[in-house]
Amino acid sequence: MAQVGFDGVTKRFGDTTAVDELTLQVLDGELLVLLGSSGCGKTTALRLVAGLEALTAGRVTIGDRVVNDIDPKDRDVAMVFQSYALYPHLTVAKNIEFPLRQRGAGKEERSAKVKQAAETLGLASLLDRKPAQLSGGQRQRVALARAIVREPLVFLMDEPLSNLDAALRVQTRADIVELQARLNTTTLYVTHDQVEAMTMGHRIAVMNEGRLQQVATPEDLYARPTNVFVAHFLGSPGMNLVEGLLVEGSGNETTGGEDTLCVSFLGASVPLPAEVATDVRGSGPDVVLGLRPETLHLSTDGPIAATVIIVELLGAETLVICRTETGARIIVRQPASAARPSIGDAVRIAVDPEPRAYHLFDAESGLRLGDRP
């Protein structure tokens, strides 16, 4: 096993900065996901570890070695590409054993390792076939098997599921998680799919425009995003983000009659839970309020007035997409068993009273307010 380290890593292509001072540690045996939209620098970061791109500044380490000037073949990493990169004229067995031949391994060693990798990935009955005779999922497993037989210090995976259909992606990502846990090999996994990232990664590093935004466990990223970008990017659908204003308001039964801090947004004024108010008092007054769709619900006495514009049925749940009187678009997630409105219905939306429902960000910087753990 080995750690992978990025220490102030920068990569420029002419006037374009693809990776901007990236500092990040991938732990021994960890599956860390680099997540971001197209062009955010995640694949470039992966290629810098593989040695397929040269650094502009900073250093990359694998284990205790600085690998900036080490050839790709000598870095002891195995890369799995989106395109599979299989040799079409070779059988599955020959594709899997190819890196062993390159390394000069003997026939018996090659045969044993190919057999073991094929059994691990359910390819034992396909060893005599060629890539054209395989499904997309089978080809991806061949690419994984070819990486396994190398027994590298690090696996590098560049959107390996992007070419698979939805059902096969779900199955194959489970296979990769199980395989990585069994082998306990340090893995850096690149994807733009936040569902993939949330279900696979021990930790997720979110990138945007070449810069690292936040690195944390999936649970922590979802519960406590560090800025509005991460807040909206993580979640399916993303967090509702609306402009708001922090104002002092008079207490009520909920607050015990004491002065409380309210957030004014979308034509409503809602008292903040005490824990949240303590964290953000003295900030603002201009804020961005983040509300996850599952912390909203339709209620006859909800403070937010809106009109239903779309209803999406998703089996066990329903997404109700509304337009507020102020013109903002708000998504409410509710169980399929809840009463379902129709398009055009006038509704009212309420926010759950729990502190976890409220995410407040500085309107100017976009950074999260408060330091509640």
Distance of CA 363 to the CA centre of its chain: 24
* Same fold across 4-233 and 240-362: no
Instruction: Provide mean pLDDT across the span 48-55.
Output: 96
Please report, in angstroms and rounded to a whole number, the separation of the first and last CA atoms in the chain: 32
**328-331-335 Cα angle (round to 5):** 155
Tell me: pLDDT of 103 over 90. Answer: no
Q: Report the percent of the chain where pLDDT is more than 70.
A: 96
Q: Which CATH class is domain 240-362?
A: mainly beta
222/116 Cα distance (integer angstroms): 38
**203-11-173 Cα angle (round to 5):** 30
CB distance 112 to 171 below 8 Å = no
pLDDT in tens, 109-138: 999 999 989 988 889 999 999 999 998 889
Tell me: pLDDT of 372 over 50. Answer: no
Instruction: Provide mean pLDDT across the span 302-317.
Output: 95
CB distance 93 to 145 below 8 Å = no
Instruction: Provide mean pLDDT across the span 227-234.
Output: 94
Helices (H) and strands (E) in the chain, counts: 9, 20
Tell me: pLDDT of 255 over 60. Answer: no
Would you put residue 135 in left (φ > 0), alpha (ψ -120 to 50) or beta? beta
Residue ranges per structural domain of the chain: 4-233, 240-362
Three-class DSSP category at 306:
strand
Tell me: pLDDT of 1 over 70. Answer: no
Closest CA to 185 of 302, 30, 62: 30
Instruction: Provide mean pLDDT across the span 42-62.
Output: 97
Would you put residue 321 in left (φ > 0), alpha (ψ -120 to 50) or beta? beta
Neighbours of 142 (CB within 10 A): 26
Instruction: Provide mean pLDDT across the span 265-274.
Output: 91
DSSP 86-101: --TTS-HHHHHHHHHH
Q: Which CATH class is domain 4-233?
A: alpha beta
Tell me: pLDDT of 364 over 90. Answer: yes
Instruction: Provide mean pLDDT across the span 337-360.
Output: 95
299/318 Cα distance (integer angstroms): 15
Say which residue, 169 or 361, is predicted with more confidence.
361
CB distance 10 to 21 below 8 Å = yes
98/131 Cα distance (integer angstroms): 14
CB distance 347 to 355 below 8 Å = no
CB-count exposure of residue 364 (10 Å: 0-12, 13-18, 19+) = exposed
Tell me: pLDDT of 304 over 50. Answer: yes
Model pLDDT, residue 254: 42
Tell me: pLDDT of 162 over 80. Answer: yes
Closest CA to 144 of 111, 110, 183, 112: 183
Q: What is the mean pLDDT of the chain?
A: 91
Instruction: Provide mean pLDDT across the span 366-370.
Output: 92
Model pLDDT, residue 250: 52
Q: Which two tokens stand for residue 294?
A: 């599952």
Amino acid at position 152, single letter: P
pLDDT in tens, 17-33: 999 999 999 999 999 99
Model pLDDT, residue 210: 96
229/331 Cα distance (integer angstroms): 17
Q: Which two tokens stand for residue 18?
A: 């693809």
What is the 3-class SS of 34-70, one letter each residue? EECCCCCCHHHHHHHHHCCCCCCEEEEEECCEECCCC
Instruction: Provide mean pLDDT across the span 262-289.
Output: 91
Tell me: pLDDT of 172 over 60. Answer: yes
Confidence of residue 283 (pLDDT cuts 50, 70, 90): confident
pLDDT in tens, 56-85: 999 999 999 999 999 999 999 999 887 778
**149-150-153 Cα angle (round to 5):** 125
Strands 346-351 and 359-362: unpaired
Confidence of residue 290 (pLDDT cuts 50, 70, 90): very high
